[in-house]
A and B are shown apart, each in its own frame.
Chain A
Amino acid sequence: MIAEFGQICLILALLIAIAQSVLPMIGASQRDVRLMAFGDRAAYVQFALIATSFIALTAIFIASDFSVKLAAINSHTDKPLMYKITGVWGNHEGSMLLWVLMLSLFGGLVPIFGKSLPLTLKSRAIAVQGMLGVGFLLFILFTSNPFLRLNPVPINGQGLNPLLQDPGLAFHPPFLYLGYVGFSMSFSFAVAALIEGRVDAVWARWLRPWVLLAWSFLTIGITLGSFWAYYELGWGGWWMWDPVENVSFLPWLAGTALLHSILVLGKRHIMASWTVLLAISAFSLSLVGTFVVRSGVLVSVHSFAVDPERGVFILILLVIATGGALGLYALRAHKLRGGPTFSAVSKEGGLVLNNLLLVAATATVFLGTFYPLFIDAMSGDKISVGAPYFNLTFAPIMLVLIGFMGVAPLIEWRSGKLASLKRPLTISALIMAIVILLGVIFGKAGLGSIGFALAAYLAYGTLVAFGRKLKLGQVSFGDSLTLLRAQPSAVYGFLLAHLGIAVFTAAVTAMTVWAQEDQQALRVGESLEVAGYEFTLRSIAPGQRENYEFFGGDIDVTKNGREIVTLQTEQRFYPTREMVTTEAGFRMGPVVTLLASVGEGDAERGYAVRAVSHPFVIWIWIGALMMALAGFISLLDSRLRVARPKQAAAKAPSQAEA
């Protein structure tokens, strides 16, 4: 019964979504307040219905109701409660339900937080959000229904993919979706603004927190994915330029450009075109991501149940949504134009350059990811594009970007004077020289030093920019402290985010030049040496647990005779799924992370042991989390709140709130 109830809720939600797409839009063009107000209510009801449906599905999983096909395939009575719940979204259908849940959640938040918005803009945005809901609800009901029944009912489920029974991976989708779907707000509002024919500072100021929210969640989601891959896949890779990783990165890059664009638009009423296009792109790239992951067009470690038929549906959705939005842009672009009101060397100029570089980076990652598909489609040739390609093309663009990030915040608005940069640049050059010298002394010159030097330069430039806000050195220290307390939180956001990138860059550089690993066949008692650490295979024993067999190895790690840690590693074989996974033993530390894993072999010839020493790797994720935290901190900025004229509230409560 619950399953049917859940399905009915979805059907009702679809009907409401259709109404939500049409009526407020008509209301806006007719200036009919009641029709516009209907949009608010529709958004609330749609969320309530989808939430109910989601709760129904969760209940089915918790109760282990295997008459529902989805639960039968993806769950098991022996699963711990937490994984039963997270299993709801650990599959295609359930994750799509999570997607629309968030879509309707954000839609429902618009009326709550958007009371100060012009009514027509708000209603149109709600209508567009409704249209997106219609698209996805149709997709779910027609191709990905989570509530399908199974007859005969199996006694037990087929168990969740063992790789998903893991906290990191269980929470990675919700954060990721909050990001992807969060960008639907920017999309809806961009389209609404285009319909209105006005993209202005008020619009930008209202939208900015939503962009920050989506971006911060997406950052966390990607970081979780990277961290999970690192310890789960067993060999310490934190980013593999896998197609599915790349498609989550694309909206992030566009979102970062959007973030900065909307900052400028909110202050200076320029870059409207950029902002609108980026807002549309960020969400479109999220849709492209969904398309790639679920259609099987690209080969990846990350395979969901792939189905070209679903791919077609999502592609059609993508073409209608993005095509429609861009078509609207084409018709309205002339209204957004304005000549450059700033010179090339200015903060605005710097931000335009920032956008250009981020778009170039996005295009590069997009090209590398989809090129095999394009070539296959055109000529049938099969080529593959792996990490080496991205290291040669994406990395340089990023390095140039970081180069500008160090100084751009120091340039004034409108028309900057390069002379004001002379001192910070000189000191930066000195710092970089010192870092490179240190690199030479410690024996790691060349590309490694450049990375560290750039990170140091970025950190320095960021601190100088922050210091200037406090007028450090120009006024008394006490006055600077006062200024420190008075800084709006967005400034702290800037400080933390850019420092986060510096930390990230330094950590990535450290990993690139100092990571060491070795693989050898070891018999019990033998050892191998990596980076001064000795990894000794102390014991190997087979074993069995509920749904897998394994053989586990204990590896002692010592340095100069001093015991460091004993790493326990297993190679697991899941008979029902014919899957082999390697659980690496690892010890994370602020300075170095040690990993070991045991593979094939026998007592005679030895077992394949892989030992890894990764210095400073956790700082990669710490840097990324700093950025996410910065985004959340910036949300607290009181300046982002849009004023609501008092008289409008007094005059029209009977009309607007009807």
Chain B
Amino acid sequence: MKFTLKGFLPLIIFLALGAALALGLTKDPRLMPSQMIDKPFPEFALTDLYEPDSILTNADMTGQVTLVNVFGSWCVSCNVEHPKLMQLARSGSVDIWGIDWRDEREKGKNWLAARGNPYTRIIFDPDSVLSIDLGVTGAPESFIIDQQGQIRYKHVGIITDDIWDDILWPVIATLEAEG
């Protein structure tokens, strides 16, 4: 039988495409890596959720390793995450700040009143100014900030026990040791 290379070309091209598609199956197209890792926490000047006249800025951030958590009273998943945050706050493992995102002040306060407040301070960000600077795409999302105010890690989604134990706590512990 006579073969021509030209005849095999379509097959070769197709197999290459198939391999690429197969590789693609192993990836999640919705995952977006954060652009802000190792960059300083964005500059902001927004009000405190509880004190509308008081403006919080970067200077108010404590200089300790901090967990910054983005939430909202409208966010269903945040309900699921909340108990974990309360537990972390009680144990004092890390300083937790909150960003009340796209919310109404009263609704945000009521939400916390009903569930408890794990946050040292809460930044009220109704217009997504800080959130967009952070590259936030949904709630809940959490950032780990080091002593120098640099973003070192971003977690998208609910913080579960496993995620805390396996991923977040090791990062925080390492940073505290370095600091």
Residues 259-300 of chain A: 1 if any B CB is under 8 Å from the residue's CB, otherwise 0? 000000000000000000100000010001001000111110
> Which residues of chain A (358-411) have a CB below 8 Å from chain B?
370, 372-374, 376-378, 380, 382
Interface of A is mostly: helix
> Which residues of chain B (1-44) have a CB below 8 Å from chain A?
1-4, 6-8, 10-11, 14-15, 18, 20-27, 29-33
Determine whether the beta carbon of A315 is less than 8 Å from that of B21. yes
In the complex, A581 Cα to B24 Cα: how many Å? 31
Residues 46-86 of chain A: 1 if any B CB is under 8 Å from the residue's CB, otherwise 0? 00000000000000000000000000000000000000000
Q: Which residue in B2, B10, B31, B32 is a CB contact (below 8 Å) of A334?
A: B2
Residues of chain A with a CB closer than 8 A to B32's CB: 382
Q: Which residue in B6, B29, B33 is a CB contact (below 8 Å) of A373?
A: B29
Residues of chain B with a CB closer than 8 A to A167's CB: none
Residues of chain A with a CB closer than 8 A to B30's CB: 299
B76 contacts partner chain A, Cβ-Cβ < 8 Å: yes
Q: Which residue in A277, A327, A333, A377 is a CB contact (below 8 Å) of B26?
A: A377
Determine whether the beta carbon of B21 is less than 8 Å from that of A323. no
For B27, the closest partner residue in chain A by CB is A376
**Residue among B1, B4, B26, B29 having the largest count of chain A Cβ atoms under 10 Å:** B29
CB of A178 to closest CB in B, whole Å: 25
Residues 153-164 of chain A: 1 if any B CB is under 8 Å from the residue's CB, otherwise 0? 000000000000
Residues of chain B with a CB closer than 8 A to A319's CB: 15, 18
For B2, the closest partner residue in chain A by CB is A334
Residues of chain B with a CB closer than 8 A to A376's CB: 24, 27, 29
Q: With A295-B25, A311-B25, A373-B24 in contact, do A329 and B1 touch (Cβ < 8 Å)?
A: no
Residues 319-335 of chain A: 1 if any B CB is under 8 Å from the residue's CB, otherwise 0? 10011001101111110
**Residue among A308, A312, A315, A330 having the largest count of chain B Cβ atoms under 10 Å:** A330
In the complex, A308 Cα to B15 Cα: how many Å? 20
CB of B174 to closest CB in A, whole Å: 23
In the complex, A431 Cα to B4 Cα: how many Å? 48
Q: With A382-B33, A578-B76 in contact, do A323 and B7 touch (Cβ < 8 Å)?
A: no
Residues of chain A with a CB closer than 8 A to B25's CB: 295, 297, 308, 311-312, 315
Residues of chain B with a CB closer than 8 A to A308's CB: 25
Residues of chain A with a CB closer than 8 A to B15's CB: 319, 323
CB of B56 to closest CB in A, whole Å: 25
In the complex, A332 Cα to B138 Cα: how many Å? 55
Q: With A373-B20, A376-B24, A382-B32 in contact, do A331 and B76 touch (Cβ < 8 Å)?
A: no
Determine whether the beta carbon of B18 is less than 8 Å from that of A297. no
Residues of chain A with a CB closer than 8 A to B7's CB: 329-334
In the complex, A372 Cα to B26 Cα: how many Å? 13
Residues of chain A with a CB closer than 8 A to B18's CB: 315, 318-319, 322-323
Determine whether the beta carbon of A370 is less than 8 Å from that of B20. yes
Determine whether the beta carbon of B20 is less than 8 Å from that of A333. no
In the complex, A308 Cα to B20 Cα: how many Å? 15
Determine whether the beta carbon of B27 is less than 8 Å from that of A277. no
Determine whether the beta carbon of B29 is less than 8 Å from that of A299. yes
Determine whether the beta carbon of B14 is less than 8 Å from that of A333. no
Q: With A323-B15, A373-B24 in contact, do A330 and B8 touch (Cβ < 8 Å)?
A: yes
In the complex, A299 Cα to B32 Cα: how many Å? 12
For B1, the closest partner residue in chain A by CB is A331
In the complex, A160 Cα to B142 Cα: how many Å? 35
CB of B13 to closest CB in A, whole Å: 9
In the complex, A284 Cα to B21 Cα: how many Å? 14
CB of A502 to closest CB in B, whole Å: 33
Determine whether the beta carbon of B8 is less than 8 Å from that of A377. no
Determine whether the beta carbon of A297 is less than 8 Å from that of B2. no
Residues of chain A with a CB closer than 8 A to B20's CB: 370, 373-374, 377
Q: With A330-B3, A331-B3, A333-B4 in contact, do A297 and B10 touch (Cβ < 8 Å)?
A: no
In the complex, A406 Cα to B10 Cα: how many Å? 31
For A333, the closest partner residue in chain B by CB is B7
Determine whether the beta carbon of A323 is less than 8 Å from that of B11. yes
Q: With A296-B29, A377-B26 in contact, do A326 and B11 touch (Cβ < 8 Å)?
A: yes
CB of B18 to closest CB in A, whole Å: 5
Sample (21) of A-B pairs whose CB atoms are under 8 Å apart:
A297-B24, A297-B27, A299-B29, A299-B30, A319-B15, A323-B11, A326-B10, A329-B11, A330-B3, A332-B7, A334-B1, A334-B3, A334-B4, A372-B29, A373-B20, A373-B27, A376-B24, A376-B27, A377-B24, A380-B27, A382-B32
- A297-B27, A327-B11, A377-B24 known; 17 new pairs, CB 8 Å cut-off, are A284-B14, A299-B29, A315-B21, A318-B18, A319-B15, A330-B8, A330-B10, A330-B11, A334-B1, A373-B21, A373-B24, A374-B20, A376-B29, A377-B20, A380-B33, A382-B31, A382-B33
Binding site for B on A (CB under 8 A): 277, 284, 288, 291, 295-299, 308, 311-312, 315, 318-319, 322-323, 326-327, 329-334, 370, 372-374, 376-378, 380, 382, 578
